[in-house]
Structure 1
Amino acid sequence: MSTIHWTEAHTVRSARWHSESAAPPPGRVVVADDRMKADTAYRLACEGTAMVWRGDYHNARQLLRAMNHRLDRKPPRSGDSPAESFHLHRRARSHRARVLGKLLVLLEEDHSLVLRRAPDVRRACTEAYGPPCGPSAVSLSELLGVIGARQWREKGVEIPALDARIHPHYGVFSPLRGEYVDLVAQAPLSGDGPGRTAFDLGTGTGVLAAVLAHRGIDHVVATDINPRALSCARDNIRRLDLTDRIEVVGPCLFPEDRADLVVCNPPWIPAHPTSVVEQGVYDPNSTMLRAFLKGLPSHLTPDGEAWLILSDLAEHLGLRTPHEVPDAIEAAGLKVRDRFTTKPHHPRASNPKTPLHTARAAETTSLWRLTAT
């Protein structure tokens, strides 16, 4: 367990260091309050010095915004290729996270935040971090993400295919981009009658498992390797009153036995995630995609099929060749029965000022219907 140390009122103090992005504990820490100027805070952060905030909560948020504005003055340059532009963009985002992550707040033994005008963050922190285990130091930017996640969890995301809301937990990919959900809701189902089974691999919030049950699948087994996702899926399945038809198991990718339908929406981009939330989008070397394809033949019933839902954003970014996915499907002993596509509806696809806009505008999400050869 990492610890940070600083001197305050001529007394050496310490706190347990917590970072969801696995950022190392800062080596140098100073105390900051309402007198801290934005230029000074930005300079210290760029030099690697962290600041424990002792002033007003809302002033801390304003200071964080001011530091962010200073980072905006140096936008990342474009590369000579889509792949280079992507890596430069990721490098700039990583630098931004490191700088903004240097403004720290202290959580007390019960996860409370003792600052002037601070909100009650105990429930949000308990849901994200688990039961409190002593005072800890976290970055203000991370805490704001925790607070935002609590609000999304309370509000939920409307899913037209379910005529209901899905409630994402902290660290679990939210189904805000609905096109992949619509593909699963509209793709033709093979066979009918009682006893049909399905696996939803990497279930996340449980939204696709719920859609499959909504479409008449009798028994759905949902899996994930992320304990937070398993808890989130169980919560949503209970909210939707589907516990008699959906079983959540894990942590694992494939459950035991075989299914008539195996569905998987793996992370789309073969790159390293820098936070827990990014694990739903970034997957180094397409590890989950390859494991899914490799394991399919031994988990499909003789007449079963699999649905692979995958964006081609990686191809437009130059991170994966156009032939890589079809070749991996063939190498796994599978064949493509059909393929359905849709265009993204999110604002980034239509905003020319969005980073990597050219690739995002060309993006297509596909549902590949696969069967064993």
Structure 2
Amino acid sequence: MSERTPAQEPTPAPARIDWIENSTPRSALWRSESGWPAPTRVVPGDDTMTAAVALRLASAGTAILWTDDFQNAKQLLGAMGRRLTGSRAPRNDTMRAAFARSREDALRRAAILGMLLVPIDAEGTIPLRRSPDIRSATIHAWGVSTDASVVSLRELLGVLGAEEWRTTGVDVPALGARIHPHYGVFAPVRGEYLDLVATTPLPADAVTAFDIGTGTGVLSAILARRGIRSITATDLDPRALACARENLDRLGFADAAAMIKADLFPDGRADLIVCNPPWIPATPKVSTDYAVYDEDGRMLAGFLSGLADHLTPGGEGWLVISDIAERLGLRSRGDLLDAIDDAGLTVIARMDTRPTHTRAADRSDPLHAARSAEVTSLWRLGAA
């Protein structure tokens, strides 16, 4: 019997969730962009349920399918979250251990709060009192569906928040315009790295650029505004490529940038190659982690090792990265410099800036010592 090739593998059936309602077995499509499995124990919940009871059920792995007022479900979710506490830090805890514990706490919190569920009917509406119109948001996030489904309220609120960002956009002072993120595409909310790309001197006579891992296309837009006439933006995520295309078209840069689905580099060479990889070399635990965590530093290593072969003579690679991994004890500065040297690259210059995000000033954050000292850098790299 011959083995199947990947192309021959059957498409897995969509996950479903089953429960009993009024003594009647029910079933619906299970939705989880984060990759959480469908709960196997489900009980109904209504306005009489207290936060203490809901938290006890959720902590034990029992999901609560809400059947009452939608706004009250949101209030219950908030009350559950306020009751959840993180693990206690031991004395003389290292920053690396604090990071690991912080991730475990965040994952546990997400798993528990994700147990409060809401139904969505086949028409794409929530059949609960005082529920919002979610149809535009869910179509943008999941596409058109004619199946009834169940989703975590916490995840649905994320979908609705993403739709608001898509509609209103994120102001980017370095661009002098707004960028409109799509659902599932990392939003450019940290302006300091964008300022670096907007102000660092361009290589002499640069006319071509690659934007590796383009996301929303914000870096391509900044380069186009600075006069780069031919930009190739790459990403593996179709959502990101569609988002970048829409943003560049909206900003009037449709002719300046091409979108290509690629793992890191496209074919050819460019005068300037820009990459802002995920800054933390750690294993993603859920799908939404991939914008933040770069497992084993794969994207960073791939960018550095392939950079020299894709630069034109005299061209530059711009690596935009924070030193937060160094401050968390996950990578040393020596590791980064060794990787640059091993790739046949030389450091032309480094532009530094300090983050201004609110978490850097939050002393209650267990990682405050690292975040408050963090430096974001643009490394100008050339072929040795």
TM range (shorter): over 0.9
The one-letter amino acid paired with 1:57 is F
CA distance in 2, matches of 1:274, 1:21: 9
Deviations 1:12-66 (A, max 9, x none): 0011111111111111111111121211111110000011110000110011011
Deviates more, 1:114-123 or 1:128-137: 128-137
The one-letter amino acid paired with 2:210 is F
Q: How does 1:156-305 map to 2 (within 5 A)?
A: 156-192=169-205, 196-305=207-316
Which one of 149, 152, 158 corresponds to residue 145 of structure 1? 158
2:26 matched to which residue of 1? 13
Deviations 1:262-316 (A, max 9, x none): 0000000011234444321111111110111111122111221100001000100
Aligned residues with identical type, % of pairs = 53
The one-letter amino acid paired with 1:311 is S
Which one of 30, 50, 64 corresponds to residue 43 of structure 2? 30
Q: CA deviation at 1:355?
A: 3.0
1:39 matched to which residue of 2? 52
Structure 1 contact 173–280 (Cα < 8 Å) conserved: yes
Q: Does 1:68 align with 2:81?
A: yes
Q: How does 1:293-372 map to 2 (within 5 A)?
A: 293-372=304-383
CA distance in 2, matches of 1:314, 1:130: 36
Q: TM-score, normalised by structure 2?
A: 0.94
Q: Does 1:113 align with 2:118?
A: no
Structure 1 contact 173–277 (Cα < 8 Å) conserved: no
2:65 matched to which residue of 1? 52
Task: Tell me the secondary structure at the aligned position of residue 161 of structure 1.
Answer: coil
Q: CA deviation at 1:251?
A: 4.1
Q: Does 1:130 align with 2:131?
A: no
Q: CA deviation at 1:192?
A: 2.3
The one-letter amino acid paired with 1:2 is A
CA distance in 2, matches of 1:356, 1:76: 13
CA distance in 2, matches of 1:352, 1:42: 27
Task: Tell me the secondary structure at the aligned position of residue 84 of structure 2.
Answer: helix
Deviations 1:94-152 (A, max 9, x none): 00001000001111223211110000001111111122151111100000000011111
Structure 1 contact 76–92 (Cα < 8 Å) conserved: no
CA distance in 2, matches of 1:94, 1:205: 26
The one-letter amino acid paired with 1:123 is S
CA distance in 2, matches of 1:220, 1:133: 39
CA distance in 1, matches of 2:135, 2:262: 27
Task: Tell me the secondary structure at the aligned position of residue 269 of structure 1.
Answer: coil
CA distance in 1, matches of 2:205, 2:107: 49
Paired residues in the alignment total 370
Structure 2 contact 35–287 (Cα < 8 Å) conserved: no
Structure 2: gaps spanning 5 or more residues: 1-13
Change (3 A) 1:129 1:355: farther
Deviations 1:182-230 (A, max 9, x none): 000011111127xx10000011110000000111111011111111111
CA distance in 2, matches of 1:232, 1:252: 17
Q: CA RMSD in A?
A: 1.3
Task: Tell me the secondary structure at the aligned position of residue 158 of structure 1.
Answer: strand
The one-letter amino acid paired with 2:254 is T
The one-letter amino acid paired with 2:122 is E
